[in-house]
Structure 1
Amino acid sequence: MESDSDSSGLSSAPEDEVKKLAPIFLKAKKATKLVAPPPKASPPRPKREPSPPHEEVLADNPDIAFIVMFRSRFNECFPGKCPQFGPQDIERGVVDSIPSPEVQQLLCALLGLVLNRKKPVERTSYGRALEEAVLSHKAQWPYKWAGQNPLHGGKDFNNMNPAERLNLLRTLVIWALGSSELVSGMIRDKYKQQRHHDDENQPLSVQPWGQDGDKRRYFLIQGLDDTGFRVYREGSRHTKNAHWYNQAGTIEEAKALAEKLEKVDGSQAARRLSIRITNAIPMFEATQEKRQRREYRQQRRAAFSRPEPGFGIYEGRTRGKRMRYTYDDNEDGEDSDATSTRRSTRGQSNRSTPFEAGPSFTASGRQIKQPRQGAYGESLLSTNVMTTD
């Protein structure tokens, strides 16, 4: 056993050899780990000045953004005749004393989804369908209604104020998300793939466009088919009632918002959002131009389909009517559209008779041109003309 341990290469070195190598270890520099200097602390972010008192306007209503994005994301569930909407379209459609025809079409489409109607609800008779939808979802009435039917006492969609109309449309959207077979099938179809954090990979989700240095999120709300846009800033998400604030609804306002985020805020998140807004401005300009062309065509089409009082739909040349080159209000009797009482004297004799020449008929009843005759009934054909020598 001792011979095996002596021959082993793992035995310790003799003390003499260690003493010989000691000066080498003493002269060698000790491996000292250089400690990096601590990073300089970034200056604290300047405290944001309190926002000025904000006056609530209809454009700040979050129901507008909710309705627009539902119409955009679930486009396949809507009938083809239902128009597309931007935030400005919804806002203009509910402020009038009577809702616009486009908003009424949206209401009918939502009623069809909530009630799972195969036949679309007509715009002229949606009252019964609206009552059925409200009564069948009584257990899901929103808290804002305070347990009272919004259609009670002869009230309907036409005599509601703009905020009540928006709330009713939003409520119908929520009911459609839970009751509509088309909407449920579309959600199941789109969510077959694996879900990521915050549904960032889902086409039906609405993701924030970015945030500023105070971690306030911004959303781009825009419909399909070259509709208008609006940039909203979300208030505090931890309050009971979330508030949204309109930040930009035109191209000029979007440019001003991008400049404010870059120069006034200056944080990395704000600069990133500013770049996104700046890159989207050419798209906003292209959609605005297409939208203006479409509105011009609609106005021209409406001018011909709905003429002004006193003018006909067709003012061109017709038989028995005089040509009208102007639409002057002071028209004499001879310039009116009524058929002129003056008859053509072509083909009549110079001799005036008290009887009007009526149409001529053959023995079989066929109407023919009246043969040309002279003053005494003689034919005016060249073969029958008598010459006097």
Structure 2
Amino acid sequence: MSTTSVDTNTTTENEIKVRSMKEICYIVAFCDKFKSNLKGIEFWPEELERAIATEYENDLIENLHCTFLNNCLNRKKPIERTQWQKFLSEAIDQKIKKGYHFYQDFNPLRRVKNYYELNVEDKVLILNKLITWQLQDSLIIRKMIDSEYRNGKKNEENSLEVKPYGVDRRGRRYYYFGSGARIYRETINKGKGKNKQTKIIWEAITTTVEDVENYINNPKEIKPSAKLDKVLYKKLVDELLPEIKKEIQLKEKRDARKVRQEKLAQRVALLHANSEIVASRTRSGTRRAARVNYAESSASSGTSISRQGSFVLQDDATPTTNNSHYATRSRTARGTEKRKYEEVTQDHDSDTRSSSSTKSSKKSKISADLSSVSNGARMSRTTSVVSIGSAATANSIFSRADYESPEFREVFGSEAGTDLSDPGSDAMDEDL
């Protein structure tokens, strides 16, 4: 047998135990009569039984204990759900110390790690005693009771009194507390003889509409021909059964709305999560695009060659067409391109020394041109990236034909060293 099935069987057995305890009726009745002071806590009897029977945390148990303790201790600041077990244990210790009646002479919470390890009997009895202490000590509960008795008229029924819904021919009393299809039956067995005591039995005889209909139509339980049973039968059929059906329909609508709200909340959470992912991807894509744009702008910006022949990048790149911002190159990038240019220069020199006299003359011409460029011209990053790829590429770029081309003159400037793309190069020539 699997662990899940064992837990389910245990929970079912615990629910049956809770349902058979007469104290559970006391709890349900109190919550029905004083629901205006329970801060909107609403439940059906079977929901409370299920919450007590489970061995894990649940909202109904925590909300009930927090509210009951607030009333008992007359606290203005609500007890937080993370601290209610501590307050409950301390309240039980104080009540026992002051001589209040408790079902044990010790605090059961002191013998377990947490509340949910208690057996179901202890859970029910603790809730039962919290109700009794509220009726004794709670200011808001006492105020409600006093107001009801003070303002009530003699011939009017007291709304806080728990009265039976009806009585059958056997003297059994029936109770309904205004929620769900749960009908309770109280059977009083009077003892015979001197030592026989009266025994009171509380039973939950219905839980669903089908249970109510089956019980009403069972002649062994309710006999329409009997006088008391006839009155009870008519009241159950004409009043209680329509009320129960209406209550169940309302609950089904509330449950359906709650399910829709939960699904909507999940969809909203999923949309938020997806939007965060999309935003993250967009930002990362923007950063990548910015890096690409920066690389392109860096490639199209100017560089300069010093008189010593070293490759030097300007810290501030050439402004864009709209003069909106300046890019900045890192020291590492400048050093890398400087080393590449020095390698190209060395390869270029070695190839030039081994060439013929014709190439030597070209080399002399190129060296003179480079010297004129270093006096005031700036080399664009686009050209520098291409020119430093290899020695062969450098030789092809620095050929006479390319040197005399308009593109070369546009990038490097005229033979006189004037930078055609940067109007500020004249000032640099003066500095040099």
Q: TM > 0.5 between the two?
A: yes
**Native 8 Å contact 1:94 1:100 kept in 2:** no
Gaps of 5+ in 2: 1-14, 191-196, 299-319, 327-406, 408-432
Are 2:355 and 1:355 aligned?
no
Alignment of 1:47-196 (within 5 A): 57-79=17-39, 82-138=40-96, 139-142=99-102, 144-145=103-104, 147-193=105-151
Alignment of 1:286-365 (within 5 A): 286-305=246-265, 313-314=270-271, 318=275, 321=278, 355=295
What is aligned with 1:204?
A: 160
Structure 1 runs of 4+ with >3 Å offset: 193-197, 237-241, 261-266, 303-307, 315-322, 337-343, 352-358, 360-366
Measure the CA separation in 1 of the matches of 2:65 and 2:111. Answer: 21
Question: Of the two structures, which has the highest relative contact order with CA contacts closer than 8 Å and spacing of 6 or more?
Answer: 1
**Native 8 Å contact 1:304 1:313 kept in 2:** no
**Native 8 Å contact 2:69 2:87 kept in 1:** yes
Counterpart amino acid of residue 179 in structure 1? D
Per-residue CA distance 1:324-359 (angstroms, 9 max, x = gap)? xxxxxxxxxxxxx9679989xx9xxxxx9993579x
What is aligned with 2:208?
A: 250
Measure the CA separation in 2 of the matches of 1:289 and 1:259. Answer: 22
Measure the CA separation in 2 of the matches of 1:96 and 1:355. Answer: 64
Quickly say closer, same or farther: Cα 1:302–1:319, change in 2 above 3 A: closer
Gaps of 5+ in 1: 1-54, 323-336, 347-351, 367-375, 377-389
Counterpart amino acid of residue 25 in structure 2? A
Quickly say closer, same or farther: Cα 1:321–1:276, change in 2 above 3 A: same
Alignment of 1:20-31 (within 5 A): none
What is aligned with 2:9?
A: none
**Native 8 Å contact 2:18 2:124 kept in 1:** no
Quickly say closer, same or farther: Cα 1:195–1:242, change in 2 above 3 A: farther
What is aligned with 1:236?
A: 188
Alignment of 1:11-22 (within 5 A): none
Measure the CA separation in 1 of the matches of 2:297 and 2:20. Answer: 77
Equivalenced residue count is 281
Per-residue CA distance 1:42-61 (angstroms, 9 max, x = gap)? xxxxxxxxxxxxx9643222
Deviation, 1:255, is 1.1
What is aligned with 1:219?
A: 175
**Native 8 Å contact 1:67 1:169 kept in 2:** yes
Measure the CA separation in 2 of the matches of 1:161 and 1:264. Answer: 40
Deviation, 1:219, is 0.8
Counterpart amino acid of residue 210 in structure 1? G
Measure the CA separation in 2 of the matches of 1:130 and 1:362. Answer: 73
Quickly say closer, same or farther: Cα 1:250–1:156, change in 2 above 3 A: same
Deviation, 1:320, is 7.7
Per-residue CA distance 1:289-347 (angstroms, 9 max, x = gap)? 1211211222233345468xxx962278749849xxxxxxxxxxxxxx9679989xx9x
Measure the CA separation in 2 of the matches of 1:152 and 1:318. Answer: 49
Counterpart amino acid of residue 75 in structure 1? K
Deviation, 1:193, is 4.9
Deviation, 1:90, is 0.6
Are 2:278 and 1:278 aligned?
no
Deviation, 1:222, is 2.7
Deviation, 1:165, is 1.0
SS in 1 for 2:213: helix
Deviation, 1:136, is 2.1
Measure the CA separation in 1 of the matches of 2:198 and 2:266. Answer: 49
Counterpart amino acid of residue 225 in structure 2? G
Measure the CA separation in 1 of the matches of 2:198 and 2:84. Answer: 34
Deviation, 1:181, is 1.0
TM-score after normalising by structure 2: 0.56
SS in 2 for 1:355: helix
Measure the CA separation in 1 of the matches of 2:218 and 2:258. Answer: 37
Match of 1:259 among 217, 223, 231: 217
**Native 8 Å contact 2:224 2:233 kept in 1:** no
**Native 8 Å contact 2:32 2:177 kept in 1:** no
What is aligned with 1:10?
A: none
Measure the CA separation in 2 of the matches of 1:103 and 1:263. Answer: 36
Quickly say closer, same or farther: Cα 1:354–1:88, change in 2 above 3 A: same
Deviation, 1:99, is 4.0
Quickly say closer, same or farther: Cα 1:255–1:135, change in 2 above 3 A: same
TM-score after normalising by structure 1: 0.62
Counterpart amino acid of residue 201 in structure 1? E
Measure the CA separation in 2 of the matches of 1:292 and 1:151. Answer: 37
Measure the CA separation in 2 of the matches of 1:221 and 1:306. Answer: 35
Deviates more, 1:170-179 or 1:185-194: 185-194
Measure the CA separation in 2 of the matches of 1:362 and 1:191. Answer: 86
